[in-house]
C-alpha cells in the first residue's frame, strides 16, 4: 500500500473548499494547472473497492456514467448502496455519500456539487384523461401524487403542501421511486427532481422550477487520503458539474 501524499491531500481539500481549481489555486497561491496535476496524481493503476451511498433516484444517473470511470480505471470496483436510510460515514459504512441535505456532523467534509431543481410532471395518459392540463403551477382540479410524513421535509412535499388547494391527493408515497412510478402509471401530477426528466417519458408541465435543493458529496477526511476514493469523488463532481444545468432544471418545458 502506498503511503498517502499529504501535500496532494492539501490540494484536494483546497478544491473541495473552493469548489473550483481556479479558486483552490488562488487560496494556495499557485497556478490552477498545478492544482489539477497534484489532485489527479500520477498513478493510473488505481484499484480497490469504493463504497458509495446515495438515493435510489440518483443511483440511476450514476450507474449510467460509471462505465466511463471504470474504462479509465479497470481495476477499480465501485459498490453503489442505494436507499433512503443514510449510512454512517463515521463508522465507515460507506466511503462517500451523495446527499441532498448538508450533513450536520462537523467531522465530515461536505463538497457542494450543484443545485437540484424540482418541477411538475405528468404522463401522456393522465394528460389525455384530465383534458384541461394547463401548463402552470395551479393544481386545482387535478389528481396529485403526494408524499407521506416520512417525506415531509423533501422540497417536493414542502411545495405541494403550500399549493395543494383544490387538488385531489390520489395516493401518498414514502419514496421518490414510488412517486415516479405512480406518475408514470398515469395516476396524477407529481412534483419530481428535474434530473429524472431525461430518464422518463413524462411531460414537464411548466418551465418553472418550483423548488431547489443543493446536492452534496460527503466524506470523512481520512478517506480523502485514499487515492481510489479521491478518484471517485473527483469523477462524481465532474459528471454532475458538466450536467449542472440539467440538474437545476434549466430545460424548456415539454409539450404534450
pLDDT for 199-229, tens place per residue? 888 999 998 999 999 999 999 999 988 889 9
Please, what's the largest Cα pairwise distance for the chain? Answer: 65
Q: Can you give the pTM of this predicted structure?
A: 0.78
Distance CA 136, CA 172 (A): 22
What pairs with residue 53 in β-bridges? 81, 97
Distance CA 196, CA 78 (A): 22
Enter the C-alpha cell of residue 7: 501535500
* Correct CATH for 6-115+213-245 of 3.40.190.10, 3.30.56.10, 1.10.3720.10, 2.60.200.20: 3.40.190.10
Q: Is the pLDDT of residue 93 over 50?
A: yes
Same CATH fold assignment for domains 6-115+213-245 and 116-212: yes
pLDDT for 10-66, tens place per residue? 777 777 777 666 777 788 877 766 666 666 554 556 878 999 999 999 999 999 999
- Fold that domain 116-212 belongs to in CATH: D-Maltodextrin-Binding Protein; domain 2 (3.40.190)
What local confidence, expressed as pLDDT, does residue 19 receive? 63
Enter the C-alpha cell of residue 114: 450543484
Q: How far is CA 36 from CA 120, 222, 234, in A?
A: 39, 21, 11
Distance CA 113, CA 216 (A): 5
CB-based contact 183:123 (threshold 8 Å):
yes
Distance CA 114, CA 132 (A): 35
Ordered by start, the domain boundaries in the chain are: 6-115+213-245, 116-212
DSSP-derived letter for residue 82 is E
Distance CA 137, CA 208 (A): 8
What local confidence, expressed as pLDDT, does residue 254 receive? 43
Amino acid at each position: 500500500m502506498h503511503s498517502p501524499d499529504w501535500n496532494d491531500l492539501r490540494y484536494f481539500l483546497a478544491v473541495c473548499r473552493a469548489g473550483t481549481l481556479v479558486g483552490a489555486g488562488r487560496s494556495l497561491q499557485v497556478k490552477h494547472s498545478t492544482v489539477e496535476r497534484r489532485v489527479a496524481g500520477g498513478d493510473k493503476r488505481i484499484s480497490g473497492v469504493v463504497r458509495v451511498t446515495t438515493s435510489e433516484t440518483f443511483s440511476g444517473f450514476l450507474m449510467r456514467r460509471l462505465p466511463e470511470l471504470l474504462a479509465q480505471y479497470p481495476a477499480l470496483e465501485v459498490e453503489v448502496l442505494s436507499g433512503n436510510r443514510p449510512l454512517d460515514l463515521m463508522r465507515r459504512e460507506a466511503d462517500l455519500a451523495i446527499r441532498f441535505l448538508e450533513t450536520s456532523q462537523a467531522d465530515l467534509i461536505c463538497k457542494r456539487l450543484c443545485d437540484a431543481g424540482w418541477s411538475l410532471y405528468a404522463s401522456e395518459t393522465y394528460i389525455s384523461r384530465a383534458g384541461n392540463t394547463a401548463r402552470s403551477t395551479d393544481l386545482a382540479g387535478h389528481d396529485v401524487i403526494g408524499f407521506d410524513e416520512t417525506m415531509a421535509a423533501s422540497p417536493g412535499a414542502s411545495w405541494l403542501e403550500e399549493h395543494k388547494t383544490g387538488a385531489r391527493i390520489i395516493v401518498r408515497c414514502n419514496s421518490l421511486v414510488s412517486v415516479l412510478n405512480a406518475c408514470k402509471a398515469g395516476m396524477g401530477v407529481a412534483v419530481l427532481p428535474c434530473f429524472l426528466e431525461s430518464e422518463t417519458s413524462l411531460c414537464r408541465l411548466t418551465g418553472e422550477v418550483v423548488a431547489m435543493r443543493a446536492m452534496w458529496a460527503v466524506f470523512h477526511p481520512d478517506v480523502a487520503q485514499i487515492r481510489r476514493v479521491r478518484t471517485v469523488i473527483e469523477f462524481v463532481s465532474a459528471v454532475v458539474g458538466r450536467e449542472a444545468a440539467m440538474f437545476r432544471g434549466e430545460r424548456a418545458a415539454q409539450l404534450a
